Amino acid sequence: MSESRRRPLARHGQQHSPTAVGQLLKLIGVALAVVLVSGLGVVGYVVSSWTTTVTANAVELEGQKELPPDIAAYEGGFDILLTGVDTCEEKYAHLFGERCTGRDSGGTLNDVNLLVHVSSEPRRVTAVSFPRDLMIPIPECTDQEGNTSSAMSKQPLNVAYGHGGNGGGLNCVAKTISELTGEDVEFAAKVTFGGVIEITDAIGGVDVCLANPIKDRYTGLDMAAGDHTIQGMQALQFLRTRHGVGDGSDLGRIGNQQQYMSSLSRKLISGEVLGNVPTMLKLADTGLNNLEASTSLADPMKIVQIALAVKDVAFEDIVFVQYPTVEDPYDPNKVVPNQSAATALWDAISANKQLQITHENSNNDGVVVKDPAPSTGETATPAPTESATPSDVVELPSSIKGTSAAQQTCSNGNVRR
């Protein structure tokens, strides 16, 4: 790891069933944060509920040092880990068939893992998605009762939550991501299948578009090409679909999920949610009831500070990227880090550059660029925004897939059954 990498104050493919909770997790923290600063009545309501709901279930991140009271003092910005787990809650288990009753029903997997980096001034937000089948070392982890699990040299990322032991799952995912990336994880939160359904309903659904129909017998999703507003169970089916988009891989699914998150961010920032007090209250209440947070995040005033840090970030500076990978030479259904591309990504993030996606989408990807776009249908590299001069812009390696909130994409349905 480069010595220049930020060190603030805290240190710390394919599978048998399509189990990923949606990338809705990417902005749960940001959405709830913005809600908290949208009105005094909302703040008062959430603060009174936060202590009894979130704080009581908070998880300590291993090795976390005391953080400064003002988030502006975090040199180089800060990171929020958002993790989705496939817990089969009693209320929703009947919706997921064999995932909750069949051969794949044992254990809890962290199938969605997002590291959201918020830079120092000028503020930029980069959400990095890590494939669940990414083969990496899983470190020694200590659970909430002080029991320690041994390190593993090479395992899929999505076993980290279960490896964390009793109450230590979120901590183990944070430690694993931190050691992989060299980034400090100051804050972390976890949500479940049911949480995705309830949070999507709370905001009245999210607009998505399909370039081609999606028919996926594994999730039960059947959608025609065109524009849709999805919520509830359909939203979760959309976010879970793997066989229905691109090449049917988890990497294709991540691209599809990022379309959803980009649309969600535009809806939140546009005021459709933030300008509606009843919707904000419902979202705040739903978030409180579906969130397991780190102790560092179990502080409503810290959430307010996070909101203030991100509320004015331009769409062009909200970027969703996939952590770069290559095929595992020992297992074609798994992936391993693309070290050179990953280094380029983290160096650009550490330098607080505006990230420009150069990857050109193909039929294997989960999305295509929505018109207006080049006639080839490939991803265009947008020009630098007013917030960035040419010297502030870094073109990422073409092996890094992603999009910004300013760019609209559509699901690349493959009409498989």
pLDDT of residue 395: 94
Considering only 34-43, 136-145, 200-209, 335-344, which range has the smallest mean pLDDT?
Answer: 34-43
CA–CA gap between residue 193 and residue 198 (Å, rounded): 9
Burial of 108: CB neighbours in 10 Å, binned 0-12, 13-18, 19+: middle
Whether the predicted pLDDT of 13 surpasses 50: no
Assigned token pair, 149: 């699990």
Q: What is the DSSP string of 286-332?
A: HHHHT-EEBTTT--HHHHHHHHHHHTT--GGGEEEEEPPEEEETTEE
CA–CA gap between residue 255 and residue 237 (Å, rounded): 15
Whether the predicted pLDDT of 115 surpasses 80: yes
Whether the predicted pLDDT of 287 surpasses 70: no
**Range among 28-42, 201-215, 316-330, 384-398 with highest mean pLDDT value:** 316-330
> In angstroms, how far is the first alpha carbon of the chain from the final one?
44
Which is more confident, 10 or 146? Answer: 146
Whether the predicted pLDDT of 273 surpasses 80: no
Whether the predicted pLDDT of 75 surpasses 90: no
Give me the residue label for tokens 């930029």.
124
Q: Which pLDDT tens digit goes with each residue over 208-264?
A: 999 999 998 888 889 999 999 998 888 888 888 888 888 888 788 888 887 887 777
Which is more confident, 185 or 28? Answer: 185
Q: Which pLDDT tens digit goes with each residue over 78-114?
A: 999 988 888 777 777 777 667 677 666 667 888 889 9
Which residues is 318 bridged to in the sheet? 125
Which is more confident, 309 or 121? Answer: 121
**Range among 67-81, 249-263, 292-306 with highest mean pLDDT value:** 67-81
DSSP state at residue 134: B
CB atoms within 10 A of CB 166: 10
Helices (H) and strands (E) in the chain, counts: 11, 21
CA–CA gap between residue 3 and residue 191 (Å, rounded): 34
Q: Which pLDDT tens digit goes with each residue over 316-354?
A: 898 999 999 999 999 999 999 999 999 999 999 999 999
